[in-house]
Amino acid sequence: MSGYGGFALRRAGQAVVVVLLTYVFTFWVISVLPGDPVTTTLRNPQNGFTEEEIARIVSYYGLDRPVLVQLWESLSRFVTGDLGVSLRSNRSVADMIGEVLPSTLVLAAASLTIAVVLSFAIAFGVHYLPRPFSTALRSVPSLFLSVPGFLVGLLLIQVFSFGLGLFRAIDTDGPVATFFAALTLGIWVSAQIAEVLIANLDHEAAQEYAGVARSRGLGRLRMLLKHLLKPSSLPVVTVLALMIGEVLGGAVITEAVFGRTGIGNLVERSVASQDLPVLQAVVTLAAVVFVVVNLLADLVYPLLDPRVTLQARPEVGANA
């Protein structure tokens, strides 16, 4: 038990360090880039500001101070839980993230559900359907991966919104529009899960125990559900854990095509305008999500495969 406690503590400590390093690293990366959102906006010739006025405004935001001073302030704010104020919108970063998070979570949940259903359907099809169909299905994941998401999204909008009028393309948070946005993202995610799942099912089906089961006259479907699926799902959990991170932060294109707000869209705009406080907050949030999701994946492993136990890990640590 103490071994596990030490392991958990170390893991948590590592996580905190990772998150803090992410925060500092983001700051450093953005700081070495030329320009800042305030001057970029002010320098638009349409605004007609004098250099003197620009200097005064930049100094209000503290952007003329040494980078280390800015980093120290930002870091000391962060450890007290204050994410600061956006340089672009002048609103509290926490508010901005809170506003777009629900939309992202809905899209992520819906697209992962669609992806899991689709990928299992594809994998089952590959193993269960007669030959010509199963061979065709085998190439579906590659097809899904190679068709760009924006094309899928635009085609879906074109056909189902502009063509058939099933939903208003601009009514972005409606259930139908959300479904099609999730489908766009889900198709891409399903391909990655399906590839892993098919490969593992192939592998498991070639094992001796499967041969034995088959020789005892076990039906294909029963065989799949009862014997092959569980060991084959293990790597799927890893892929799924990685995908959660992807769909939470990486849905930029889907969001743009469907006109949705979300974390991806927020990141894109913040990168374009070098909005440091928002970027730091979002990247840190992403780091937290990755750390937590990966930890959860580790915890789910032993439930799916009794051969994996947490006890094995502290021993590795002890040896080192």
Partner 1 sequence: MRTTRTRARRAWQAAIGILTTVLVATACAGGAQSTDAGSAQEGGDLTFLIDSLGDTWIPNNSAISSFQGHIWGHVTDKLVYVDENGKTSPWIAQSWEQNADATEFTLRLREGVTFSDGTPLDAAAVVANLDMWSKGDATRGINPIGLFPKTYQAAQAVDPATVKVTFSSPTLGFIPTLGYHGSILISPKSLALPAEQQADLSNDIGSGPYVVESWKDDDVVVLRKRADYDWAPEALSHQGPARIDSITYKLVGEQQVRTSSVQSNQADIAYNPSPKELETFKAQGFSVAAPRYLGFVNGFAINTKVAPFDDVKVRQALQHGIDRDQILATVYTPDWLAAESFIQSNVPGATDHKAAFAHDSAKAEALLDEAGWAKGPDGVRTKNGTKLALTLYPNPYLATSKAVDELIAQQLRGIGFEVGIQAYDVVTYGQRVKVGGETVPAYEITRSFIDAGTVGGVLTDANKGENWFGLGQSDAKLTELATSIAGASDPALRDAQLDELQGYVLDQGYFVPITQIVQRLYLQSPRVHDVTYNGIAYANYYTAWIGDPT
Window of 24-32, 145-153, 185-193, 202-210 that interacts with partner 1 by CB under 8 A: 145-153
Please report how close the Cβ of residue 92 comes to partner 1 at its closest, in angstroms: 7
The answer to whether the CB of 275 falls within 8 A of the CB of 86 is: yes
Q: Which is nearer to partner 1, 190 or 254 (CB)?
A: 254
Distance CA 302, CA 319 (A): 22
Q: Which is nearer to partner 1, 228 or 248 (CB)?
A: 248
How many residues are there in the chain? 320
Please report how close the Cβ of residue 54 comes to partner 1 at its closest, in angstroms: 10
Identify residues 264-283 at the interface with partner 1 (CB under 8 A).
265-266, 269, 273-274
Window of 41-49, 124-132, 184-192, 309-317 that interacts with partner 1 by CB under 8 A: 41-49
Count the residues of the shown chain that bind partner 1, applying the rule CB under 8 A. Answer: 53
Please report how close the Cβ of residue 162 comes to partner 1 at its closest, in angstroms: 4
Identify residues 228-267 at the interface with partner 1 (CB under 8 A).
256-257, 259, 261, 265-266
Please report how close the Cβ of residue 139 comes to partner 1 at its closest, in angstroms: 23
The correct pick among 170, 212, 225, 318 for binding partner 1 (CB under 8 A) is 170
